[in-house]
Amino acid sequence: MSSQKFSNPTGKVTVQRDLLDIEYCEDFFSEVDANGWFEYLAAKIPWERREIFIMGKKILQPRLICWYGDVEYTYSRSTLPSRKWTPQLQELKTIVEEYAQQKFNSCLLNFYRDGKDSMGYHSDDEKVLGKNPFIASLSFGGKRRFVLKHKKDKSIEKVEIELGNGSLLLMKSQTQHYWLHGIPKTQKEVKPRINLTFRWTYPK
């Protein structure tokens, strides 16, 4: 897939309000390229379903995941070993780094098999991500609703984005301090979706 480059995205939206700072590129990859990436990732990533602890209770995560990067990652009492970048993931990382003008050393991959797979509200604010984490999130496959809500002030309007095939979402500045984000379950018929969130993780 070495010929793949982002196609000077046109559908770019920036939302900056109430200490939220995000940028969304709808057409970061062409549809053809995005479909190619979906097929590659679905087939080649060693996806796993993990048990995690939520409020002391052991549950199976409602999606498949895989962690790549130069350092291991611990969350909800689950440790994900570091995994060496494949040339294809390295290529995606470089494309995103060039566009975002940021370096990343790790990536959490999520596979939402259907509408029952989801990610609960959270912020990517672990200590190992540093003070103001810069998160770059690529989406391939079926469109899913991504919702951001303010952590404390319920009167602040939520932000909702349909994350489409081949799109890139950047979350910047203090976003993770003040806002939660998640992918809600849906009853709608949705195609499988793969998401990659590139981050900079500081070694412990």
- DSSP letter at 187 equals S
CB of 170 to Fe ion, least distance (A): 13
Query: CB neighbours (10 Å) of residue 144?
Result: 24
Q: Which is nearer to Fe ion, 84 or 131 (CB)?
A: 131
- Classified as helix, coil or strand, 197 is strand
Q: Nearest distance from residue 64's CB to ligand AKG, in Å?
A: 12
Site membership for ligand AKG, residue 146 (CB under 6 A): yes
Closest separation in Å from C-beta 3 to ligand AKG? 26
Which residues contribute to the site for Fe ion (CB under 5 A)?
124
In the block, which residue shows the tokens 């479909």?
35
- d(Cα 30, Cα 164) in Å, to the nearest integer? 11
Check binding of 140 to ligand AKG (CB under 6 A).
no
Q: What is the CA radius of gyration of the chain?
A: 16
The nearer residue to Fe ion, 33 or 61, going by C-beta atoms, is: 61
Where would I find the H helices in 50-126?
Answer: 87-100
| Tokens 């990610």 -> residue | 119
- What, of ligand AKG, Fe ion, none, does residue 195 touch, CB below 5 to 8 Å by kind? ligand AKG
Q: What DSSP designation does 70 have?
A: S
Coarse DSSP helix, strand, coil percentages of the chain, rounded to the nearest 5 percent: 15, 40, 45
Contact partner at residue 106 from Fe ion, ligand AKG, none, CB < 5 to 8 Å by partner kind: none
Are 118 and 185 in contact by the 8 Å Cβ rule? The answer is yes
For ligand AKG, the binding residue among 83, 172, 181, 185 (CB under 6 A) is: 181
Q: Does 123 bind ligand AKG (CB under 6 A)?
A: no
Q: How far is the CB of 82 from Fe ion (least distance, A)?
A: 19
Give how far Cα 12 sits from Cα of 24, 154, 170, Å. Answer: 6, 27, 11
CB of 118 to Fe ion, least distance (A): 12
Number of residues that bind ligand AKG (CB under 6 A): 11
171 binds ligand AKG (CB under 6 A): no
User: What is the contact surface with ligand AKG in residues (CB under 6 A)?
Assistant: 108, 110, 119, 124, 137, 146, 163, 181, 183, 195, 197
